Amino acid sequence: MAVSGVRTVKDLVILITGASSGLGRAAVERLIQQGVRGVIAFDRSTFEHNNVTAAKRVIPVVGDVTEEKDVVSAINTCKNEFGKLDAVVNCAGVGIAMKTFNEKSGNPHDLESYEQVIKINLVGTFNMNRIACELMAKNEPINGLRGVLINTASVAAFDGQKGQVAYASSKSGVVGMTLPMARDLASLGIRVNTIAPGLFLTPMMLQLPEKALERLASTIPCPSRLGHPDEYAHLVQFIIENPMMNGETIRIDGALRMQP
Ligand SMILES: NC(=O)c1ccc[n+]([C@@H]2O[C@H](COP(=O)([O-])OP(=O)(O)OC[C@H]3O[C@@H](n4cnc5c(N)ncnc54)[C@H](O)[C@@H]3O)[C@@H](O)[C@H]2O)c1
């Protein structure tokens, strides 16, 4: 009978993008608390330490996921500081609200904004993954496995709403990359999975007025509230620890199915 390959995150080295805020920040906090050896906290905004013990194991790197040189520099920092890379968690992302054609103003969707969202959410995720593989591939395999890449899509990849055309396109691209990338990297023992969150209470969401947040929460069947970022981070931990998780996109949304 096959032996269980489940192993804890203890002693692993993780690179997290979008680490300075929201879901990425929650992943940093949970994984440090669970005993990882170190985290590279990559973000275009500065990472603020608020815990002295953890601070020694979190190395902030400022950079843009769409820039090859910034990503290469983050991977080099990881190699120099920790000598290995076990998992990447892609959380860097942006959202905009704009319709394909605005019948009130008579204007089509601004092309530059569309391209910018695709570039950060989709191309940025691909850029980080493709470059991270090189260092991950050098790991000594454990039960045939060397590491895992985790992407963050959104339920908008499946039920994109009015005004979410750019965001939903970028996130469905992330869902689409998951299986072929898992197949490409299978011979190296590198797994690839995507998380598709519903509505989580992060700075992105806190920009909305309280009334709008209450209305959004009421659309979530059970539990009827916005997700806590640590609930997302817990799923990140599960994906890292469970070796049979591969080539899959998991919704974490309290049974939310967004309406048009
Ligand atoms: N919060 C939600 O409800 C929710 C739902 C579904 C999906 N998501 C996705 O989860 C991810 C994290 O969202 P969040 O709510 O934590 O947002 P957030 O705005 O709190 O954090 C996003 C972080 O990404 C960083 N970032 C943006 N562009 C970058 C770039 N080019 N290079 C490097 N860093 C960059 C930002 O500086 C920020 O720190 C995003 O991809 C978002 O689309 C969030």
Is residue 28 assigned to a domain?
yes
Q: Which atom of ligand 1 is nearest to the CA of 205?
A: 1
Beta carbon of 189 within 6 Å of any ligand 1 atom? no
Q: Which long-range contacts (CB under 8 A, 24 or more apart) does 211-219 make?
A: 219/256, 219/258, 219/259
Is pLDDT of 1 > 90? no
The Cα–Cα gap between 37 and 31 comes to 9
Does residue 131 fall inside a structural domain?
yes
- pLDDT at position 163: 95
Q: What is the pLDDT of residue 101?
A: 98
Residues 89 and 41: beta-carbon distance below 8 Å: no
Task: For ligand 1, say whether the CB of 151 is within 6 Å of any of its atoms.
Answer: no
Identify the CA nearest to 219 among candidates 153, 152, 155: 155
User: Would residue 167 show up in a list of annotated catalytic residues for this protein?
Assistant: yes
Averaged pLDDT, 161-170: 97
What domain count does the chain have? 1
Mean pLDDT of the chain: 95
What CATH code is carried by the domain that includes residue 48?
Answer: 3.40.50.720
**pLDDT confidence of residue 49:** 83
Confidence class for position 53, pLDDT limits 50, 70, 90: low
The number of helix segments (H) and strand segments (E) in the chain equals 10, 9
Task: Determine whether the shortest distance from the Cβ of 19 to ligand 1 is under 6 A.
Answer: no
Determine the structural domain holding residue 48 and report its residue range: 13-199+228-251
pLDDT tens per residue across span 95-142: 999 999 999 999 999 999 999 999 999 999 999 999 999 999 999 999
The catalytic position among 114, 167, 200, 232 is 167
- Give residue 52's pLDDT: 54
Does 55 have pLDDT greater than 80? no
Count of CA atoms in the C-beta half-sphere (13 A) of 203: 12
In a domain, 208, yes or no: no
Residue among 124, 132, 125 nearest 78 (CA): 132
